[in-house]
């Protein structure tokens, strides 16, 4: 700009762009529909001054923006149906205990903000944020495809887990019953399996699970991240409350189903009650336990930072720094914005001093309580593929 040039009386200053503060959405974990990593366009919400109930950024108490009228409305859930071409996914990760998995749903209405599966929604051209919780994919033919795969001549029985990616008992299962159909196929083939869930809806299928457990053909794992109901409501907005999950553990155990507890993920300075969770789960009847640390692959890194900005802004920097410590992120990587290392050897339990301390806490609590003293060995020898084709058995 030429300082000697007289000012143009018709010139106007450009309007100041005001970013709309992130706000929690009732019943949802993510605060935004964050663009996925394949998006060509990135949009950011700004305040144009016309939003109903908006007020200047410096408005104080009693301004028009105060009160419940500004609460963002709840978002509806949409279910899309697809025909699966395959049911079983092979696992070649050395840090995972099962060989195969089957997932009847993509996306999860529980809305757990820490879910490592969120970035997989990007492959569907959906946001890993709100779309992961509201745009769900149901594999309507998953049971038929599984039956076909188990009866294939080349199939060799291996440990199968149901719901390793997204919760197999999320709310839409009540109506769609895809998980129940999978369990019926497993029963018909006498194929052992485990499943993991946060939902009390698993109790509905005790008529299937209890007889299978008596034959050493199934085990259930219940995730209890924290006993703090308020924290759980923020972390896992549509999952069962912590006390309800403990009751589910007790109900399953009383029916003869072996139950383990997952206290994953461990998030520094948030769910610091791991020992209390393990003790409560043991009292309810769980006899095995495991944990992982928080993982932040791909878009999940940004989503979790947004969540911290909404719910725990004063702790955000401290939490993120400790997460980086757990994954041994050095100073140069931190400057580049890296928070997570996907190395198979360390991604689940972390590495370094803080990871070692967490490992010691977990091991000490399990030793004191008597958890993990005996391992449930499911019986692969009972597999009868012919039963899935309607053939009888001589045994």
Mean pLDDT value of segment 264-277: 98
* CA max distance for the chain: 101
Residues 21-30: pLDDT tens digits? Answer: 688 898 999 9
- The predicted pLDDT at position 55 comes to 38
Task: Provide the pLDDT for residue 68.
Answer: 38
Q: What is the pLDDT of residues 40-56, one digit of tens each?
A: 766 665 445 555 444 33
Sign, CA dihedral 258-196-252-181, equals negative
- CA-CA distance, 277 to 268, in Å (whole number)? 15
State mean pLDDT over 85-102: 89
Rounded (10°) angle between helices 353-369 and 316-326: 80
Please write the tens of the pLDDT for every residue from 171-206: 999 999 999 999 999 999 999 999 999 999 999 999
What pLDDT is recorded for position 292? 97
Distances (CA, A) of 331 to 34, 338, 342, 345, 356: 27, 10, 17, 21, 20
Q: How confident is the model at residue 62 (pLDDT cuts 50, 70, 90)?
A: very low
Half-sphere exposure of 218 (CA within 13 A, CB side): 28
Report pTM.
0.87
C-alpha torsion 264→167→193→206, nearest 10: 110
High-pLDDT (> 90) share of the chain, %: 76
Report the candidate in 300, 313, 250 with the shortest Cα–Cα distance to residue 129: 300
Other beta carbons within 10 angstroms of residue 362's beta carbon come to 21
Token pair belonging to 318? 């401290």
Say what the pLDDT of residue 93 is: 79
To the nearest whole number, what is the mean pLDDT of the chain? 88
More confident residue, 262 or 388: 262
CA 233 to chain centre: 14
pLDDT at 60: 38
Please determine, for residue 337, whether its predicted confidence score (pLDDT) is greater than 60. yes
Higher pLDDT, 5 or 281: 281
Cβ partners under 8 Å of residue 69, min gap 6: 53
Lowest average pLDDT, out of 34-38, 221-225, 298-302, goes to 34-38
What pLDDT, on a 0 to 100 scale, did the predictor assign at position 131? 97
Q: Which of 322, 221, 306 is nearest to 270 (CA)?
A: 322
Decide if pLDDT at 20 tops 70.
no
Q: So what's the pLDDT on residue 92? A: 80
- Residue 1: pLDDT over 60: no
What percent of the chain is modeled with pLDDT above 70? 84
What distances in angstroms separate CA 256 from CA 186, 197, 351, 375, 379, one per listed residue?
Answer: 18, 18, 37, 15, 16
Q: Are 125 and 38 in contact (CB under 8 A)?
A: yes
pLDDT band at 63, cuts 50/70/90?
very low
Of the listed ranges 62-76, 173-187, 226-240, the least confidently predicted one is: 62-76
Residue 132: exposure state from Cβ atoms within 10 A (0-12, 13-18, ≥19):
buried
pLDDT of residue 66: 34
């Amino acid at each position: 700009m030429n300082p000697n040039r007289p000012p143009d009386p018709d010139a106007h200053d450009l309007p100041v762009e005001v970013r709309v503060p992130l706000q929690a959405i009732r019943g949802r974990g993510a605060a935004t529909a964050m663009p996925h990593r394949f998006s060509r366009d990135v949009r950011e919400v700004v305040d144009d001054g016309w939003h109903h109930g908006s007020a200047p950024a410096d408005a104080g108490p009693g301004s028009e923006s105060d009160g419940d009228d500004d609460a963002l409305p709840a978002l509806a859930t949409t279910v899309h149906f697809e025909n699966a071409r395959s049911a079983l996914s092979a696992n070649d990760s050395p840090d995972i205990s099962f060989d195969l998995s089957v997932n009847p749903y993509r996306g999860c209405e529980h809305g757990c903000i820490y879910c490592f599966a969120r970035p997989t929604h990007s492959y569907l051209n959906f946001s890993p944020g709100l779309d992961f919780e509201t745009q769900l994919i149901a594999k309507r033919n998953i049971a038929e495809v599984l039956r076909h795969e188990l009866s294939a001549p080349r199939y060799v029985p291996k440990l199968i887990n149901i719901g390793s990616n997204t919760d197999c008992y999320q709310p839409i299962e009540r109506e769609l019953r895809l998980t129940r159909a999978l369990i019926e196929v497993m029963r018909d083939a006498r194929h052992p399996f485990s499943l993991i869930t946060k939902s009390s809806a698993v109790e509905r299928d005790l008529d299937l699970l209890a007889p299978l457990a008596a034959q050493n053909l199934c085990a259930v794992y219940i995730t209890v991240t924290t006993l703090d109901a308020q924290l759980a409501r923020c972390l896992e907005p549509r999952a069962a409350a912590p006390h309800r999950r403990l009751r589910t553990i007790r109900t399953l155990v009383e029916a003869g189903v072996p139950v383990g507890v997952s206290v994953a993920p461990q998030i520094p300075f948030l769910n610091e009650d791991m020992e209390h969770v393990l003790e409560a789960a043991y009292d309810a009847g769980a006899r095995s336990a495991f944990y992982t640390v928080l993982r932040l692959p791909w878009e999940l890194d940004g989503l979790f930072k947004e969540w911290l900005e909404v719910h725990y802004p004063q702790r955000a920097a401290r939490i993120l720094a400790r997460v980086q410590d757990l994954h041994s992120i050095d100073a140069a990587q931190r400057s580049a914005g890296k928070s997570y290392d996907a190395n198979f050897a360390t991604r689940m339990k972390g590495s370094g001093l803080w990871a070692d301390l967490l490992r010691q806490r977990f091991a000490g609590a399990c030793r004191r309580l008597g958890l993990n003293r005996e391992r449930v060995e499911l019986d692969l020898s009972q597999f009868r593929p012919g039963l899935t084709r309607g053939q009888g058995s001589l045994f």
